Structure formats: structure tokens, C-alpha cells
Amino acid sequence: MVASRRTLRSAITGLVYLAAVVLFFEGAARLAVSSGPLFQRIAAEDDSSHRLRWIQSRKRKRDVAYFFDEYHRTRGWSLKPNLRDLAVFGGRRLSSNSRGVRGTAEHSPEGDPSRTRIVVLGDSFTFGEEVSDEQTYASQLQGLAPETEVLNLGVHGYGHDQMLLYLREEGLVYRPDILLLGFVHIDMPRNLLAFRDYAKPRFERIRGRLELRGTPVPEPQAVIDAEPWRSKLLDLLRMLRSRLDEGSGTTAARSREITAAILDEMALAAAAAGAKPIFAYLPVEEELAQADLTATGPQRFFLDYCGARRAACLDLRPAFLARAKAGAALPTRGHWGAAEHRLAAQALRDALREQGLIARTMPEH
């Protein structure tokens, strides 16, 4: 009996000691992630880091990301509908139609049979961060090719996973003739995340099939209310693991695998709806700083994917580098300006006409 009591006391003492150690490290982790400079040193491109950045910036506010965004149950966030000439991005103008598509034009499901309807998916480069409605490459493409009707379904911060869901939920409702994806390499690691600009869904590849995780997406207030109960020690360990995975190449390999599977699903969904899927590689940031056409790592993934699938793909990087060689100054940090959007629109128009996907049926202005 005495031995049993001693064993019990020893076990309780061990548990108390273990709890004290865990609490100590939990407290230290909370201090670390709450300290601005220290947090910036340890934060990575992982769910915990993005969530903590969002919490720190929003506090008790109910905003999702930008003030022109709204919470979306399945995609995390979307552009608010019925916006009119909002002043954004240092004097640029932002509008949206009744369905949250950028611009003021409304689009019926039937469309105009005399025009080729193009639905464009993408991230902030397609959405047109830093430019006005009429300056986006989607809008300029329609202006350069009046025989088309171009719907800009780009949303800032989206990964390809959210774009696939947007295509399924809204894009195919418009019965497009062409599905155009503005492929930007920085979207690939987003496909692994459950939190980026805000909480978001993601796909996992299970036995060769994509399975959706993280829906319905929690509402902003629910995320805020749950934050005090989240273990910051686990957050810290996830951040460190993320850095290790990134350094070892594990993150890049996983993002390539899931991205390829998502692109496959996009192509299948578009083709099943009678649309021609086209993937366009949009060069951004450091890819515009190189003087030669040597493919970057992400660009090589894109080209290899297109070759293996025999997919309809357009690579806009040569057109951009040719413009740079001719003396144009291209932005190697941040988003495109109106000139880069126009260059993309011209390259897309020329390629689509060359392939016979659009034809001059109306006089150009």
C-alpha cells in the first residue's frame, strides 16, 4: 500500500513537473510571437505566421483583408459586389458588378453569341492591384479585341485552389468559350496553406484524388474569438518546421504536386463545360530582372507541365523581356503598372488570334 502511494505521488509529481514545463514553454512562445521584431525573425510562409499577422493587424475588427473584400463561406474572401469608383491604390479606381466581378459591366449567363466569351482567373496581378478597372489586362484585352467579352474573376491573394472553387461556383455559370488562367508562380505555395490573407480552403491529394479541406471557412469573429485558446507553442513549432521544409525543398516539391493536380482539375472542368482551357504564364518581380530567356524554376515547372499534358499554354515572359531589351523599365518588385497590363493584353490577343481562338469580327478602335 505504501509503495502504491509512493508510486502515485511520484506520478502526480511528474505530471505537475511536465505541466509546469509545458506552461513555461507556452508562455515563452506567447512572448516570442507577440514581440514584433522577434516575430518577424521567426515568422515564415505558413498557416500560423499568416494567421498571427492577420490577428495582429485586425485585432477586434471584423474585416477580412482589404476594406473592399468580404467574407466568403467557401473561398475565404471575395470582392464585394456593387462597388463604384472606390479610391484605392493611391488614386486608382475600383468597381465591381452585382456578382463581385471587377468592373461595372453585368454579364448574363447566355452571353452575346457574336463575341467570344473569356473568363479569366488569377490572383492580384489578374485582379489588377495598383491599377484602375480599365487598366487591367483583362479589360485591355477586351479593348484590343472587341470581338471578345472578358470577365475578370481575379481576386488578390488567391491560390489556385481558390481559383478552382471560383471556377466551379461562378466561372462556368457564364458558359465561357475560353477559360484563361493567369498563372503566377507565387500562387503555388499558397495551395498548401489553410490561412493566407485570411482563412482559406485547400486541397489534399488522397489516393490520386483531390479532397477539399477547411470548408466552411470560419467567420472572422470566430477566428478572433478562438485565438486566445490556440497554443502558441504549437504555432512556433509549425513556423520552425515550415522553415526546415522550405530549406530542404519539401515545400517546393509538395506545391508542385498539388498545383499540377489542381491545374488538371481546372482543365477537366473547363473542357466538360465546353470551354477551351488556356494557361498563361505571367512573369513577375525577379523574373523580370533577368536579361536572358533562361527559364526560372517555376517557369520550368510550368513548361514541363504543359508539355507533359499537351495543354494549351502561353508563356508571356519572352514578350516582357523583349520589351525590357528595347529599353522599357519593368517593375522587379510589387505589382504591374498599366503599361505591363497592356503588354500582357497585347501578347494574349496576338497569341489567341494566332491560334485561331479569337478572330477579328469587329473593327478595332
- What is the pLDDT at residue 361? 54
Task: Give the number of other CB atoms < 10 A from CB of residue 247.
Answer: 9
Residue 135's Cα: distance from chain center in Å? 20
pLDDT digits 0-9 by tens, 230-251? 998 999 899 999 999 999 999 9
Q: Which of 81, 64, 82, 60 is nearest to 73 (CA)?
A: 64
Cα of 167 vs its chain's centroid, Å:
13
Nearest to 133 by CA among 174, 179, 197, 89: 89
- Which cell is 128 given? 489588377
Residue 289 pLDDT exceeds 80: yes
Quick one: which of 232, 188, 187 has its CA closest to 39?
Answer: 232
Instruction: Say which residue, 292 or 338, is predicted with more confidence.
Output: 338
Element (H, E) at 143: helix 137-144
3-state class percentages of the chain: helix first, strand second, coil last, to nearest 5: 50, 15, 35
Could you tell me which of 151, 154, 158 has the C-alpha nearest to residue 175?
151
Nearest-Å Rg of the Cα atoms of the chain is 24
pLDDT digits (tens, 9 = 90+) for 82-119: 999 999 999 999 999 999 999 999 999 988 999 999 99
DSSP state of 71: E
Confidence at 62, pLDDT banded by 50, 70, 90: low
Question: Do the bridges between strand 202-206 and strand 209-213 make them parallel or antiparallel, or are there none, so unpaired?
Answer: antiparallel
Q: Distance between CA atoms of 297 and 301, rounded to whole angstroms? A: 6
Q: Which domains does the chain have, with CATH numbers?
A: 66-221+248-354 (3.40.50.1110)
pLDDT tier for residue 365 given thresholds of 50, 70 and 90 = very low
Contact call for residues 78 and 100 (beta carbons, < 8 A): yes
Kind of pairing, strands 86-88 and 116-121?
unpaired
Helices 250-272 and 297-309 pack at an angle, to 10 degrees, of 40
Rounded Cα gap, residues 297 and 251, in angstroms: 14
Q: Please compute the mean of the pLDDT values over residues 146-168 and round it to a whole number.
A: 98
Q: What does pTM read for this prediction?
A: 0.93
Q: How far is CA 223 from CA 100, 215, 294, in A?
A: 24, 14, 44
SS3 annotation, 167-192: HHHCHHHHCCCEEEEEECHHHCHHHH
Note the pLDDT of residue 22: 66
C-alpha span between 29 and 39 (Å, rounded): 10
Give phi and psi for 4, each to the nearest 5: -65, -40
Tell me the three cell numbers of residue 228.
Answer: 486566445
